[in-house]
């Protein structure tokens, strides 16, 4: 009887211990679940944002792995997470409602693409480096002839380099003209690349500083950097734009059996296509 009694006591104590452990794990599991299931909502999403970028933003919101719940402290932590690891959203704001954490900010629109070896980067109007995501529906221009530097800036940092800055400024100008003059069929949709190998005449001062290439490899000779036309006796920037868009509207395209379109000469009223002969 003593042995049976002792055995029963041991079993009872063991059961109590196992029950406490199970209950503790259950409580922790439920607490963790309720802390990480707080709904996240992205507000004011531009039409060009795809599902991959949305998913990357939601992952960035909980990048520190501390879980989410709906309160102001967590909202501030989510904002800091986004600032640290998601450069696509500038001036991020995270608000709390009764049931959600709402994320909003200014999305950085990529304008140009730079390749370095196997790596690809986007740059926005502020020259901020963005990680590569497939965005085939946007008119993004590939940069060629970028000067080699020792190190590419980290994601979210500006790439302050004169040839890159000159290219981005020109692409941004063309994008603005597209919105105003040709919104239905943007001219940039036919521009594949922009060459800055001779930016500021670093290879040959007599050669064009900036050249655009269409999707069928037609050269559009722009010339000097924005604001520097007078130093090289070229057409003004406004004249170049007028010539380019006049040609685009007249012919309906920049593509065709032409070798190049020259915008530099201030004496030309409309750039004429030059054939291969």
CA 42, chain centre distance (Å) = 17
- Segment holding 2, helix H or strand E: helix 2-36
Percent of all residues in the chain with a pLDDT value above 90, rounded to a whole number: 74
Cα–Cα dist 106/126, whole Å? 12
Task: Give 129's strand partners.
Answer: 123
pLDDT at 36 over 50: no
Residue 162 is assigned to a structural domain of this protein: yes
Q: Looking at the structure, do residues 90 and 142 belong to the same domain, yes or no?
A: no
Q: Looking at the structure, do residues 210 and 135 belong to the same domain, yes or no?
A: yes
Quote the pLDDT of residue 66: 85
- Residue-wise pLDDT tens digits, 220-277: 999 999 999 999 999 999 999 999 999 999 999 999 878 899 999 986 545 545 443 2
Quote the pLDDT of residue 135: 97
Q: Looking at the structure, do residues 168 and 218 belong to the same domain, yes or no?
A: yes
Cα–Cα dist 209/203, whole Å? 9
Q: Looking at the structure, do residues 97 and 207 belong to the same domain, yes or no?
A: no
Quote the pLDDT of residue 267: 65
Q: Looking at the structure, do residues 201 and 69 belong to the same domain, yes or no?
A: no
Q: Looking at the structure, do residues 125 and 182 belong to the same domain, yes or no?
A: yes
Spatial neighbors of 165 by CB under 8 A, at least 6 apart, are 127
- Residue-wise pLDDT tens digits, 164-216: 999 999 999 999 999 999 999 999 999 999 999 999 999 999 999 999 999 99
Q: Is the dihedral of CA 46, 49, 50, 52 positive or negative?
A: negative
Cα–Cα dist 273/260, whole Å? 7
Q: Looking at the structure, do residues 125 and 255 belong to the same domain, yes or no?
A: yes
Q: Which domain holds residue 122?
A: 112-262
Determine how β-strand 119-123 pairs with β-strand 112-116: antiparallel
Q: Looking at the structure, do residues 96 and 121 belong to the same domain, yes or no?
A: no
pTM, to two decimals: 0.80
Predicted confidence band of residue 152 (pLDDT cuts 50, 70, 90): confident
- Residue-wise pLDDT tens digits, 85-115: 999 999 999 999 999 999 999 999 999 999 9
Nearest partner of 195 among 170, 216, 175, judged by Cα = 170
- Residue-wise pLDDT tens digits, 24-34: 444 333 333 33
Cα–Cα dist 175/155, whole Å? 24
**Coil, strand or helix at 139:** coil
Q: Looking at the structure, do residues 136 and 237 belong to the same domain, yes or no?
A: yes
Cα–Cα dist 221/212, whole Å? 6
Residue 11 is assigned to a structural domain of this protein: no
- Residue-wise pLDDT tens digits, 57-93: 999 999 988 888 899 999 999 999 999 999 999 999 9
Quote the pLDDT of residue 39: 84
Cβ density class 15-50: b for 16+ within 10 Å, e for less: eeeeeeeeeeeeeeeeeeeeeeebeeebeeeeeebe
Residue 242 is assigned to a structural domain of this protein: yes
Last residue of some domain: 79, 107, 135? 107
Residue 2 is assigned to a structural domain of this protein: no
Q: Looking at the structure, do residues 253 and 202 belong to the same domain, yes or no?
A: yes
DSSP state of 84: H
Q: Looking at the structure, do residues 51 and 137 belong to the same domain, yes or no?
A: no
Number of domains composing the chain: 2
Q: Looking at the structure, do residues 123 and 76 belong to the same domain, yes or no?
A: no
Residue 160 is assigned to a structural domain of this protein: yes
Q: Is the dihedral of CA 238, 167, 56, 89 positive or negative?
A: negative
Last residue of some domain: 74, 107, 140? 107
Predicted confidence band of residue 20 (pLDDT cuts 50, 70, 90): very low
Last residue of some domain: 82, 107, 132? 107
CATH number at residue 47: 3.10.20.310
């Amino acid at each position: 009887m003593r042995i049976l009694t002792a055995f029963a006591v041991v079993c009872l104590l063991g059961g109590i211990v196992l029950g406490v452990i199970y209950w503790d794990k259950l409580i922790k599991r439920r607490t963790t679940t309720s802390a990480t299931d707080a709904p996240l909502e992205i507000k004011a999403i531009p039409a060009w944002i795809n599902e991959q970028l949305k998913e990357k933003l939601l992952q960035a919101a909980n990048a520190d792995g501390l879980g989410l719940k709906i309160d102001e402290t967590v909202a501030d932590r989510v904002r800091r997470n986004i600032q640290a690891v998601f450069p696509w959203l500038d001036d991020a704001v995270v608000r709390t409602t009764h049931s959600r954490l709402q994320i909003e900010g200014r999305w950085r629109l990529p304008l140009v693409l730079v390749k370095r070896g196997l790596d690809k980067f986007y740059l926005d109007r502020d020259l901020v480096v963005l990680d590569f995501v497939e965005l085939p529906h946007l008119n993004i221009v590939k940069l060629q002839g970028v000067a080699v530097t020792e190190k590419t800036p980290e994601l979210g940092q500006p790439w302050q380099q004169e040839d890159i800055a000159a290219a981005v400024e020109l692409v941004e100008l063309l994008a603005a003209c597209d919105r105003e003059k040709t919104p239905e069929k943007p001219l940039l949709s036919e521009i594949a690349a922009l060459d800055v190998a001779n930016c500021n005449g670093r290879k040959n001062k007599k050669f064009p500083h900036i050249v655009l290439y269409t999707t069928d490899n037609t050269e559009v000779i722009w010339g000097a950097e924005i604001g520097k036309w007078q130093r090289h006796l070229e057409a003004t920037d406004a004249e170049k734009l007028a010539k380019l868009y006049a040609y685009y509207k007249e012919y309906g395209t920049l593509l065709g059996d032409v070798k190049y379109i020259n915008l530099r000469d201030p004496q030309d009223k409309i750039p004429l296509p030059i054939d291969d002969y």
